[in-house]
Structure 1
Amino acid sequence: MKLYYSDASPYARCVRVFICYHNIKGVEEIIANPFDNSPELLRVNPLAKIPCLQLNDGSALFDSEVIMRYLDAEFGQSQLFGTMVNNWSKQCHFSLLKGIFDSAVSLRQEQLREDEGLRSAFWTSRFEQALLRGLKEVETIGVIASAELTALQIMLVCLLEYIDFRHPDLPWRKVTSALSLWLKDAQQADVFVATRPA
């Protein structure tokens, strides 16, 4: 299998944590810049987005959620997603985290528009407030309560470390002190250390 990814992408990092956690061998990791529109990436994902997992039969899976669910089902007996099956509340929690991911990445894209003189104060504020509101909600719904690592917790560690990486001035720790304390211990796990952006 081949995983096309970017080191800085929080979506791709989640997939890499799943690979590491399940100790999946034989995955060739290929750095890909989605903005280059390289022929190799376009052959496996016409949307030119990462992460993208090319399977051994030549077919490809894209969208981080699809890839994570595939890896967990095929190599981990659905251990990380298992408690979410037919649990619509936890499925909604997953969607909440995906939405916060999207806000964090959109905020980064908005920041990059500053060099073009196109950054919007409205959208910057909207994404920042969505991040903080979303994290406050995550703190109340029990994602960090499980002693066993879950798909939701993997997403949360990758999300919080991405926010620290790309948005160091966002005061999320003041708003969600319980998440901050939880992260200090959770982020020390080998699967997170091994996949942390350089």
Structure 2
Amino acid sequence: MKHIKNIVSKHGRKLEARAEKLGVADSLIMGCINGDDAALTKVGEMGNEGERILTIMPYITDNLNAFIKGTEEYNKGLAEIYKQAGASGIALDKANADLTIANLKYGHERSEIGLKLSSDRTLENQRYRESIDLVKLKAYIDYHMSKVDHLAAAKSQLARPVKAQLDADRTYETEKAKHLLTYGEGSDLDLVPRKSFTTNKLVQAFRTAVSTIFE
């Protein structure tokens, strides 16, 4: 365990701070390594939560899109129904109207047309407001999801050298042990290759410069 802590320390406190921001504390990782049940349970639940988000989010997007399109078609249908009902009602009234009440019916029809126009205008304004609100909501959600995806992908790339270094250190320790066991006092550890992904100064400078974008 002391060796693992030394490796973490070698990568610097900025990596630990960045992991803390993501909810992955050094103590949590060490707890899992030490077999702490609570730490292992928490990490397992974090993985489950991530899987749920990956599984459910596409369905949320699909359903919101379907809701927006359905609402649009619903309001269009209502407008057509009301329009056709008004036109058909007026035509029927005209066909069945008696000549003696033609003038009275004419006045009534004009009143009905005015009321229908007012009603249609109200419905259209309401449909328009609701449609705009849904479009804005979808745009906001799409923008937020895009930013989250981009940030996650970028941070994943920044983590690659660290993960590669962990694998390289593990491989080095294994090969070093084999070398010492094989050659004993005649061992020469310079013959055991050791990869450096994070200690290289150029790599460190690049990661430091890029990581500041995601602070």
TM-score by length of 2: 0.30
Higher strand share: 1
Q: Which has the higher helix share?
A: 2
Normalised by the length of structure 1, the TM-score is 0.32
* Highest RCO, 1 vs 2 (Cα 8 Å, sep ≥ 6): 1
